[in-house]
Structure 1
């Protein structure tokens, strides 16, 4: 366990040429092309918000997909080909693999109802078009429409009522 702010890897972020890094040979994580495109949009619109985690020799422990998309000419040009890196010194290769798995699994997944509420807010309160939500969230039109229609569904069915009618309640 690393105690103290100065002992944390984030205290030593480096900007290194992306060519100084290389993939590991065991990462079980796969990102589909639409999500890779969304990652590009994320970096282009928000900038680099997370560093790549690498060993001292440049082998990527976490952030393989960030490293991959950093070759895109638009992203490359943002920082002159440099990428943010935090170095880890895992004592053994097994520990490095465990670190990769922890980083991948700790990200979780999105729930449908919270995503629906976000899409509804983006459209209704923030004024984004379907096309803007599609492009900026990496969604297909059908997904945006379905999430929008689902957002607020329980509230729409009970406006002015105490709750759902008996027709909606299961008998068992």
Structure 2
């Protein structure tokens, strides 16, 4: 990380039309309808107090739900569809995913299965060690292990069988 105020991403806030941004394909964070409604109210009443974080190509790293709310006609009208954006210098995909996790974990809830997919991808495809994921995502070792292992759960549950046992079937 660069030091000094001028080197900080906030020194490069720009107003970008919302149509020039797009979601990433891995965000594990989910916001329920009541909280989305509250976020809309916050944006409408308080204005834009936090920028959206994006890559230079417009892919959102953090702020997907603020961006979604910016499509609401009342919020759109406030700035003619423009949203404040801070662009991160082009990070590697693994670094971008880590950034999304850090932003989200600091203030929200994560879906377990999408989070497990990210942990597995960071380790298997991006080459991070479990210890690096642990430190860079603020996780305990057990959490990294359980999330990484998620993909093997169904294999262990059906060893030598072609179907799940009754204990694995959800009731209707």
TM-score interval (norm. to shorter): 0.5 to 0.7
Whole-Å Cα distance in 2 between the matches of residues 48 and 63 of structure 1? 11
Tell me if structure 1 keeps the 8 A contact 2:39–2:66: yes
1:119 maps to what in 2? Answer: none
Q: Paired residues, what number?
A: 109
Deviating runs (4+, > 3 A) in structure 1?
none
Structure 2 portions without partners, runs of 5+: 110-172
C-alpha RMSD over aligned residues: 1.2
1:91 to partner: Cα distance: 2.8
1:11 aligns with 2:11: yes
1:106 to partner: Cα distance: 1.4
Whole-Å Cα distance in 1 between the matches of residues 75 and 89 of structure 2? 28
1:85 maps to what in 2? Answer: 85
Whole-Å Cα distance in 2 between the matches of residues 30 and 88 of structure 1? 23
1:2 to partner: Cα distance: 1.4
Q: 1:65 to 1:79 in 2, by over 3 A?
A: same
2:107 maps to what in 1? Answer: 107
Whole-Å Cα distance in 1 between the matches of residues 105 and 94 of structure 2? 17
Tell me if structure 1 keeps the 8 A contact 2:13–2:86: yes
Give TM-score, length-normalised by structure 2: 0.62
Q: 1:68 to 1:108 in 2, by over 3 A?
A: closer
Give TM-score, length-normalised by structure 1: 0.62
Structure 1 portions without partners, runs of 5+: 110-172
Rg larger in structure: 1
Which string of whole-angstrom CA distances, capped at 9 and with x for unpartnered residues, describes residues 63-90 of structure 1? 0000000000000000011000000024
2:33 maps to what in 1? Answer: 33
